[in-house]
Chain A
Amino acid sequence: MQFVNDDMDELFRKAAEDYPLHTKTNDWDKVLEKMKQEESSAANRKKGHAKWLLLLLPLFFICNRFTYVDHDAAVIPNAGGKSAEKRDDGRPQHIMASPNNELAKTGNNRSVGANGDIAGTPIEANTYKANNALTENKYIERKKTRSMPDIAIDDYSSPAATPKPAGDHASAFAIPDVAGADDNSLTKTEISTEPESKETSEEKAPMPPDTPAKQKVSDKTQGKKAKTNINKKGTYAGIIIGPDFSAVRSSKSKGVGYSTGLIAGYNFSNTISLETGIYLDRKRYATNGKNFSIAKFNWPAHTNLLSISGYCDMIEIPLTVRFKQKTGKSAQVFAAAGASSYLMKKEDYQYTTERYGLYYSGNKSYKNSSTHLLPVIHFSAGYERALGRIGNIRIEPYLKLPVDRVGIGNMSLKSKGVYIGMTRSIR
């Protein structure tokens, strides 16, 4: 045997491949047992996570409580004739005229006024009497057909009458026969009634006497019950979340990533708005060596990349113009276009390489690898709906196409996915 001292490395490589080791000690049962132990410990970890999620349940109920809107709350006007607001839909309240501009209260503590709304418009007493009789009759007729609330109308025949709970007066609800009454005699002070099924169904059941607390809530609701306007002019902010499917060039998507973040925008009008935000993205992808540059990998010469897969965590800053079209009172469709900047925070890869006929697998991770200004353009379209005080909810499928290469591997990265978002106007 002759040794070549200057080629010791090669000698050890050959020795490593062919050294005579006793290898008949495989024990599949041991491996199987270890795999089962791993599975059971993983299952226990998941259960632990689920327990922590239960702690979020009270938060859900609290949020639900404070965002609940009491649609049954009565419109309580201010005493003293101040004009009270109408219902949200602009229809006047079912009220009775009260004399001397005094706002009489219904059995449900509803204050009433004249002119079909709760503005305290003064009326003459005699006119009141005449109108009241006819109005009562009309009310009863409408009540029979449309299930109007049990307001103790007879109590309002006298200016000095005070209201009583509706239930108490059901039997005393005696309307004089006013057959032959001429509708023309009704003045403008007649209660205008345009009941709709929605309204009557709301008032069908007699309301319990309001407690002071409930009245307060009703006051607040009345005072702050804003109209549902999906495109309030001005700034808005919100959050988005959704799955992301990314791919490099013509490669297929590998796994599901995600995108979540904050958005802020400005509604210029009902049709156009400008939006930006800051998203935290995780994009997963895989490709072969042709679509991924290894120039920055510091590998030995003649290393060929065969395949690579992994993910990148990035901060995305989009800039988007949205074009909107209302489809209903509180809904709209929109189309959007824009571009995004990427700040690559972490790239993690598993790869397979070949060098001189030997195959290697490995993994590499890079932090803060690169920043790219507007390397993708994106297009999206979606549907948005207003949810009252909560804000607007939107669903937005999107497509992002590369105009520049990104990442440590200089990839042409395209993405598609869906954003689900909530926004709220801020002024």
Chain B
Amino acid sequence: MQDLQAIVEGCINHNAKCQKQFYEHFYGYALKVTFRYIYRYDKATDVVNDGFVKIFKNFHRFEYKNVADLEKMVMGWIRRILVNTAIDDLRKNQMLPEIGDLSEQEWNLQDKTGGADNALLYKELIVQLKKLPPSYRAVFNMYVIDGFTHLEIAKQLDISVGTSKSNLSKAREHLKKIVNKEFRQPEVCNL
């Protein structure tokens, strides 16, 4: 890929070639962010594409000072826009829980990103996260993983701060039970 700064500048100037490169480079990252919120994979890809349309439309608002941190800043910006887009989609469906199992084809257990040992573990954790009710899932994702405050979550989801804290607490409790149940290893007595 070309120098990221050149691509970012090209996107600011609505250069189609740069936009395509940008999309292809950050698509995987964007999908991982969105898939934590949106239950179904095909729906998640649609939301990612909608998110990129918003990104390119508002690229002129992206500012950076230090080129060395550009990639991190871009990823932070993409993350924010995609989370907002995913939340908008969940709210459109009134936070109704989705049904159906997740397909194994959606996972890439050949991915060596986090190490083979952890890949399976991480996959299962995310599966359990996705099985939470949408309102709990959204709050957990936003607070624990994406760094939103309860005030921001409350504003985004149109709930009170108290409800946000309560949902987070319930989500943690739920996940803790599942994690302890599914992944607890029997203690091994060392002789």
A, B: real partners: yes
* A interface residue numbers (CB < 8 A to B): 1-3, 5, 8-9, 11-23, 25-28, 30-32, 34-35, 38, 286, 288, 298-300, 306-307, 309, 350, 352, 354-355, 357-363
Nearest CB in chain B to that of A365: its residue: B155
Q: How far is the CB of B105 from chain A (nearest CB, A)?
A: 7
Known: A12-B129, A12-B145. A19 touches B45 (CB 8 A): no
| Contact assessment for A306 and B65 in the assembled complex, using a CB-CB cutoff below 8 Å | yes
| Contact assessment for B76 and A28 in the assembled complex, using a CB-CB cutoff below 8 Å | no
Known: A298-B149, A361-B76, A361-B77. A8 touches B65 (CB 8 A): no
- The answer to the question of B121 belonging to the interface, with a C-beta cut-off of 8 Å to chain A, is yes
* B interface residue numbers (CB < 8 A to A): 16, 20, 23-24, 27-28, 31-33, 35-36, 45, 49-50, 52-53, 56-57, 61, 63-65, 69, 72-73, 75-77, 79-81, 105-111, 113-115, 117-119, 121-123, 125-126, 129, 140-141, 144-149, 151-152, 172, 175-176, 179-180, 183-185
Q: List 30 A-B contacts (CB under 8 A).
A: A1-B117, A3-B180, A3-B183, A8-B176, A16-B141, A18-B118, A18-B119, A19-B32, A20-B108, A20-B122, A20-B123, A21-B28, A21-B31, A21-B106, A22-B106, A30-B49, A31-B23, A31-B49, A31-B52, A32-B16, A35-B56, A306-B73, A307-B63, A352-B63, A354-B69, A360-B79, A360-B146, A360-B147, A361-B73, A361-B80
Question: A26-B24, A35-B56 known; 16 other A-B pairs, CB under 8 Å?
Answer: A3-B179, A3-B184, A8-B172, A14-B114, A15-B122, A15-B129, A18-B115, A20-B113, A20-B119, A22-B107, A26-B28, A34-B53, A38-B57, A352-B64, A359-B76, A362-B80
| Contact assessment for A298 and B151 in the assembled complex, using a CB-CB cutoff below 8 Å | yes
Interface centre among A11, A17, A19 (most CB of B within 10 A): A19
Q: Is the interface of B mostly helix, strand, loop or mixed?
A: helix
| Contact assessment for B69 and A19 in the assembled complex, using a CB-CB cutoff below 8 Å | no
Q: Which residues of A contact B113 (CB under 8 A)?
A: 18, 20
Q: What is the CA–CA distance of A22 and B27 in the complex, to the nearest angstrom?
A: 11
Q: Is the interface of A mostly helix, strand, loop or mixed?
A: mixed
Q: What is the CA–CA distance of A195 and B35 in the complex, to the nearest angstrom?
A: 88
Q: How far is the CB of A272 from chain B (nearest CB, A)?
A: 45
Known: A8-B175, A8-B179. A21 touches B108 (CB 8 A): yes
Q: What is the CA–CA distance of A420 and B148 in the complex, to the nearest angstrom?
A: 44
| Contact assessment for A28 and B65 in the assembled complex, using a CB-CB cutoff below 8 Å | no
Nearest CB in chain B to that of A2: its residue: B185
Q: Which residues of B contact A14 (CB under 8 A)?
A: 114, 118, 122
Nearest CB in chain B to that of A363: its residue: B80
| Contact assessment for B123 and A19 in the assembled complex, using a CB-CB cutoff below 8 Å | yes
| Contact assessment for A352 and B106 in the assembled complex, using a CB-CB cutoff below 8 Å | no
Q: Which residues of B contact A9 (CB under 8 A)?
A: 144
Task: From the candidates A13, A22, A307, name the one contacting B65 in the complex (CB within 8 A).
Answer: A307
Q: What is the CA–CA distance of A32 and B146 in the complex, to the nearest angstrom?
A: 28
Q: How far is the CB of A357 from chain B (nearest CB, A)?
A: 8
Q: What is the CA–CA distance of A306 and B110 in the complex, to the nearest angstrom?
A: 37
Q: What is the CA–CA distance of A360 and B81 in the complex, to the nearest angstrom?
A: 11
| Contact assessment for A21 and B23 in the assembled complex, using a CB-CB cutoff below 8 Å | no
| Contact assessment for B107 and A20 in the assembled complex, using a CB-CB cutoff below 8 Å | yes
| Contact assessment for A22 and B53 in the assembled complex, using a CB-CB cutoff below 8 Å | no
Q: What is the CA–CA distance of A22 and B35 in the complex, to the nearest angstrom?
A: 11
| Contact assessment for B185 and A21 in the assembled complex, using a CB-CB cutoff below 8 Å | no
Q: Which residues of A contact B33 (CB under 8 A)?
A: 16
Known: A20-B119, A31-B53, A298-B149. A1 touches B108 (CB 8 A): no
Nearest CB in chain B to that of A18: its residue: B114
Q: Which residues of B contact A26 (CB under 8 A)?
A: 23-24, 27-28
Q: Which residues of B contact A31 (CB under 8 A)?
A: 23, 49, 52-53, 56
Q: Which residues of A contact B149 (CB under 8 A)?
A: 298-300
Q: Which residues of B contact A28 (CB under 8 A)?
A: 20, 23-24
Q: Which residues of B contact A11 (CB under 8 A)?
A: 125
Q: Which residues of A contact B146 (CB under 8 A)?
A: 360
| Contact assessment for A5 and B63 in the assembled complex, using a CB-CB cutoff below 8 Å | no
Q: Which residues of A contact B81 (CB under 8 A)?
A: 361
Q: Which residues of A contact B53 (CB under 8 A)?
A: 31, 34-35, 38
Q: How far is the CB of B70 from chain A (nearest CB, A)?
A: 10
